[in-house]
Amino acid sequence: MTDAACEAPAGAAASLVLTRNRLYGGLFLLAALNAASGAAVDAIGDLGVAGAVLALFNISAVVWMALAAGLALTWREPDYAPVRPLDLWLAGAVALAALLPVPAVSGVMLTVVGLHAAITAGPGSPLRRAAIIFLAVSGTLLWGKVLLTVFTRPVLEMDSWLMSSLLHVRQEGNVVWREGGAVAAVVSTGCSSIHGISVALVCWAAICQYFAVPLDRRSVLTALAAVLATMAVNMARIGGILVSPEWARIIHDGWGATVSMWVTLVLVTAICLFGARREVFARA
């Protein structure tokens, strides 16, 4: 049972305070912020409050922009769809989950309400588009990490196998090294391309849904290109680490890490904007 955005019923108060869109927008934000709180607490512990703010609480700037985009879709677009009883039950569940001290539970609730909203909202409606953005956000805040935790070895070995095939380096499990090289790299969960891929998908989802880009071959190819770009930069990064111990230090801890982050960010944003240029640069 779906609802489409409908005209305000005659005589309805223009200041209808709680509509379906607003309720879900609030729930999405509440669940997302609580799902991200684990990383935030760690950031405050490691960097202090000021440092954590500067580091955006170790949450990608892409995710922050996606949160803003999703909230704008649900709170700025006018809608008059009334709240249903099931929506209130879900709201209670999200609030309860948010009160628990375990951030992952909020991540699960974000996925649940995102799926429910996406399914019950009208095609192309602001609520469905916002739901898709927040589902992508739940992917990076929770499910990417779950994948890495449950399938650590297969994921890391796949990362390593790609590296050994493309960079022509030796591989044993998740250890890669150049023949005769002085550095062996252990591809750990922090180095996995999963992190970059999940953020690239958030970028793609946010741009496509905010600008109402249809899901067609072009947009799917754009997503693929963005994912491949993150993997290519990650691979180049680790390839550089294998060159020498000095390069390993620069790339892992020094300015090389910053450069690779910026290159990835610019590439992914440019690819997603280019793929959606028809809708993004259309006259507003």
Partner 1 sequence: MSRVVDLALKGGLVAGFVAIASPALAGVPTPVPLLGAGVPALLALGGAYYLVRKARSRG
Partner 2 sequence: MKSLRAPSLILAAAVLVTLGGKAVTRQPPEPDTALFTRDVEQRLRTRGYSVTSRTLPSGVYLYGARGDCRLMVTEQDAFGTLADRNNQFAREVGPLHYVWRGRRRETAPRAEILLRFLVRRELVRLGPSPPRQPLGAIATGPGCSPADTAGLTPSDLPR
Determine, following the binding rule CB under 8 A, whether residue 45 of this chain makes contact with partner 1: no
Looking only at residues 257 through 276 of this chain, which bind partner 1 when binding is defined by CB under 8 A? 257-259, 261-262, 265-266, 269, 273
Determine, following the binding rule CB under 8 A, whether residue 236 of this chain makes contact with partner 1: no
Nearer to partner 1, 174 or 260 (CB): 260
Q: Which residues pair with 23 in a beta bridge?
A: none
Q: At what angle do helices 126-138 and 103-120 cross, to 10 degrees?
A: 150
Q: Are 177 and 183 in contact (CB under 8 A)?
A: yes
Q: 């602001």: which residue's tokens?
A: 126
Determine, following the binding rule CB under 8 A, whether residue 189 of this chain makes contact with partner 1: no
Instruction: Catalogue the long-range contacts made by 75-78 (C-beta closer than 8 Å, 24 or more residues apart).
Output: 75/21, 75/22, 75/25, 77/5, 77/21, 77/126, 78/5
Euclidean distance between the first and the last CA atom of the chain, given in angstroms as a whole number: 32
Determine, following the binding rule CB under 8 A, whether residue 283 of this chain makes contact with partner 1: yes
Q: Which residues pair with 19 in a beta bridge?
A: 82
- How many other CB atoms are there within 10 angstroms of residue 188's CB atom? 12
Kindly write out the interface string for residues 48-87 of this chain, putting x where it contacts partner 1 by CB under 8 A and - elsewhere: ---x-xxxx-x-xxx-xx----------------------
Q: Min. distance of Cβ 74 from partner 1 in angstroms?
A: 18
Looking only at residues 163 through 182 of this chain, which bind partner 1 when binding is defined by CB under 8 A? none
Q: What is the contact surface with partner 2 in residues (CB under 8 A)?
A: 14-18, 22, 26, 29-30, 33-34, 37-38, 40-42, 44-46, 75, 95, 98-99, 101-103, 149, 152-153, 156, 172-175, 184, 186, 188-189
Nearer to partner 2, 19 or 219 (CB): 19
